[in-house]
């Protein structure tokens, strides 16, 4: 599960780092954002119809369209922010997107929590272990996206939705959570984005993160609220040693 992440890079920096050929951002996204949450507008990189790397914004989380059968609005229901890599190829929600609509989701780390007692939650920032990565901590997550009908609201007509692929965790993340986002290497970006990539090759990119790529650091418990934001959230007010 990846339910919250960090993205501190602005549009120009992302366009440079991902060699973007077409900037079609659409709706704005917040940056720096120390606490990206579901339903927010996020930055993604896709291939457009001409095969160019295109930067744009999408809503984080697929709407659960099946709730329409219960007379509910899927866009007000809790969104589907993650897709399990092992089962996504066979799930109707994800299979079409995994075959034809893949994206890169830039982050500078994501968060997971451990629990002590019934209410006490302690968050970790999980980032790149290689401090020479430019910029520091850049992680590119494997994503899928889809267009969805937003009814008659013209401001929402062109706001597709994206989700993050997850797999089993590397050794560093396993004590905190049994899932981890799939992190893509730069050499694999075009294979992931290109809809003509053989599907077996796409699946081969979903094996998960190797041990040693990620590192955990405690951060502020203020992040227990999705409203918390700012650099102060990165200053830990607890330590793993204090929990025993």
- Dump pLDDT digits (tens) for 92-149: 999 999 999 999 999 999 999 999 888 789 999 999 998 667 666 789 999 999 988 6
In contact, 208 and 170? CB cutoff 8 Å = yes
Return the sign of the alpha-carbon dihedral for residues 104, 105, 109, 113: negative
Q: What does the pLDDT look like over 205-221, one tens digit per residue?
A: 998 899 999 999 999 99
How confident is the model at residue 152, as a pLDDT?
Answer: 60
Q: What does pTM read for this prediction?
A: 0.94
CB burial of residue 115 (10 Å; 0-12, 13-18, 19+): exposed
List the Cα angle 52/55/60 in 5-degree steps.
Answer: 130
| pLDDT computed for residue 175 by the predictor | 93
Q: In the chain, which residue ranges form alpha helices assigned H by DSSP?
A: 11-17, 92-100, 189-193, 199-204
pLDDT of residue 150: 65
Over residues 79-96, mean pLDDT:
96
Q: Which of 220, 114, 226, 121 is nearest to 177 (CA)?
A: 114
Please report the DSSP string for 131-160 in residue order.
TTSSSTT-EEEEEEEE----TT-GGGTT--
Q: How far apart are CA 26 and CA 216, in angstroms?
A: 34
What is the pLDDT averaged over residues 45-60? 93
| Across 11-15, 70-74, 89-93, 227-231, least confident range | 70-74
The pLDDT value given to residue 181: 97
């Amino acid at each position: 599960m990846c339910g919250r992440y960090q993205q501190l890079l602005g549009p120009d920096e992302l366009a440079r780092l991902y060699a973007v050929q077409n900037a079609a951002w659409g709706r704005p996204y917040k940056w720096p954002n120390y606490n990206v949450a579901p339903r927010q507008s996020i930055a993604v990189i896709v291939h457009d119809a001409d095969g160019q790397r295109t930067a744009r914004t999408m809503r984080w989380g697929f709407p659960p369209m099946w709730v329409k059968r219960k007379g509910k609005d899927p866009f007000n229901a809790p969104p589907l922010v993650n897709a399990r890599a092992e089962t996504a190829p066979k799930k109707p929600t994800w299979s079409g997107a995994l075959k034809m609509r893949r994206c890169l989701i830039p982050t500078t780390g994501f968060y997971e929590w451990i629990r002590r007692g019934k209410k006490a939650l302690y968050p970790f920032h999980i980032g790149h272990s290689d401090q020479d990565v430019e910029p520091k901590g850049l992680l590119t997550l494997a994503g899928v996206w889809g267009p969805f009908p937003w009814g008659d609201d013209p401001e929402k007509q062109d706001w597709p939705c994206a989700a993050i692929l997850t797999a089993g965790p590397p050794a560093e993340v396993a004590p905190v959570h049994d899932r981890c986002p799939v992190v893509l290497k730069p050499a694999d970006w075009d294979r992931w984005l290109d809809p003509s990539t053989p599907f077996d090759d796409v699946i081969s990119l979903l094996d998960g993160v190797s041990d040693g790529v990620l590192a955990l650091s405690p951060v502020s418990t203020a992040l227990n609220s999705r409203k918390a934001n700012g650099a102060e959230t990165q200053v830990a007010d607890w330590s793993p040693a204090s929990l025993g």
